[in-house]
Amino acid sequence: MNNKTAIIAALAVLLLGMAAFMYWHPGVFPMHGFTGPESYVPSPSHVRLTGDSWRYISGGAAVMNGEPLDAVQHSYSGYCLVYGLARSCIVLFQVTVAVLALLAITSLATQAWREMGGALRWEWLPCLLAGGLFALNPEFAAWHCAIMTESLYISVVCINAWLTHWALEGPRKQRMFLVFTIVFITAFLRPSGWIQLPAVVCYWLCASNLTLKHKVGFMALTAVVFFLFAVCFASRGINNQGPTMKLYTGEVVWQEDLWRVNMPPPKDITRTSIADGLLYGLRHPQAAAWLVAKRLIVMFLRIRPTYSRLHNLALLAYHLPIALLGLAALLIYRRHPAVSVITAMVAAHALIVALTFNDNDGRFTLYFTPLLATAAVLLCCKIITALKPIATNH
């Protein structure tokens, strides 16, 4: 067993240990607000429930009974199906997929390190740090034990990023078809899942041998196709989240007033389609741009007005270095394919927040945190390996 294999095995054990700790200690990062009947509460009671859990529990029952999903559940049909099939072992299933995500993260970190020309004897370091930031994060472990989309979706984003990069390393047509199919299927987990499709296509276009003119043209076409898809087919699920109304009201964080932006009044506040929101943004570009900027700042910092000062300081200590170092790494090493796929996934999910809102518990930031942390780790490792010879000489 080489060093890298031993590190991954140890990280997997730590991930399982963190999940087990959170499972048996639901008072750590407690979740509240379950609104469903007590008879539907899963057994054992250590499984974490929130206000949205009833949506998936009842949706899973509906899927297994051949009954239709309601309008909101339809946007999360993939997770409703997963819960329906794995109700008795949902936590075990989510933890298992998280271990696969760990493998994807460590593999992507190693591949990026090699593409960046990192020394072979040091490749264990980005593997250890990137995997450790994922395996030992208590928030991830808490979501693994919850009946919510978050654990699976965070893991799926990591796995899909690795698969998207892997598709270009062999017989491209077969691998690209397989990966696109996997990304398409996993997009049903939650509404934001669909943004992975244009992210994957744009990454592949950038990595192709097409001229810059053709790359830009095809990426613009991808954006138009995805927008038409959102308007024509996915609008019901998207509009259930009220993004256009949140644009009108300047909402930065779900149902929070502290950071709300004062927006110009719309001509007709009853018109709340995606197209109406786009037209409103074009009519008021300055106000819309400030709202987008504020949403992105809050997204990367992860703080919330309802959290205690200590809680916000802890979040800043973790997320601010990751954001600064990670974004710097994405810019510095943008020409390396493994870093570019991270950029595509981070940018795609940031776009969703920019156009909609931040959730009040900050979980939307977690969707890309493992990947952004991987980029941050790569920059740190480059700095460490560059400083070591200097320190040795002195």
* Distance separating alpha carbons of residues 154 and 133, to the nearest angstrom: 14
Q: At what angle do helices 309-332 and 369-393 cross, to 10 degrees?
A: 70
Query: Nearest-5° angle of CA 349, CA 354, CA 355?
Result: 100
pLDDT means over runs of 10, the chain (394 residues): 86 97 87 73 75 91 94 92 93 97 97 91 93 95 95 98 94 92 96 93 92 90 81 55 85 87 89 85 94 94 84 90 96 95 96 90 93 97 82 55
Where does residue 182 rank: exposed (0-12), middle (13-18), buried (19+ CB within 10 A)? middle
Q: Mapping DSSP to helix (H, G, I), strand (E, B) and coil, where does residue 124 land?
A: helix
| Domain housing 151 | 3-393
Chain Cα centroid distance, residue 121: 31
The closest alpha carbon to 131, from 113, 117, 147, belongs to 113
pLDDT computed for residue 33 by the predictor: 72
> CA of 168: how far to CAs of 172, 193, 374, in Å?
5, 22, 20
**What token pair was written down for 160?**
């899909």
* Distance separating alpha carbons of residues 155 and 114, to the nearest angstrom: 23
pLDDT computed for residue 347 by the predictor: 96
> CA of 289: how far to CAs of 278, 294, 331, 343, 364, in Å?
12, 9, 22, 21, 20
Specify the length of the chain in residues.
Answer: 394
pTM of the predicted model as reported, rounded to 2 decimal places: 0.93
**What token pair was written down for 340?**
């570019």
Q: Mapping DSSP to helix (H, G, I), strand (E, B) and coil, where does residue 278 land?
A: helix
* Distance separating alpha carbons of residues 249 and 16, to the nearest angstrom: 42
- Give the distance between the most distant pair of CA atoms in the chain: 72
* Residue owning tokens 């407690």: 30
The one-letter code for the residue type at 157 is V
* Distance separating alpha carbons of residues 217 and 309, to the nearest angstrom: 48
Residue by residue, DSSP assigns 73-95 as HHTTHHHHHHHHHSGGGHHHHHH
pLDDT computed for residue 8 by the predictor: 95
* Residue owning tokens 């509404």: 191
The one-letter code for the residue type at 278 is L
pLDDT computed for residue 42 by the predictor: 64
* Distance separating alpha carbons of residues 232 and 283, to the nearest angstrom: 23
* Distance separating alpha carbons of residues 132 and 195, to the nearest angstrom: 27
Quote the number of domains for the chain. 1
* Distance separating alpha carbons of residues 14 and 141, to the nearest angstrom: 10
With a CB cutoff of 8 Å and minimum separation 6, the contacts of 194 are 187, 226, 229, 230, 234
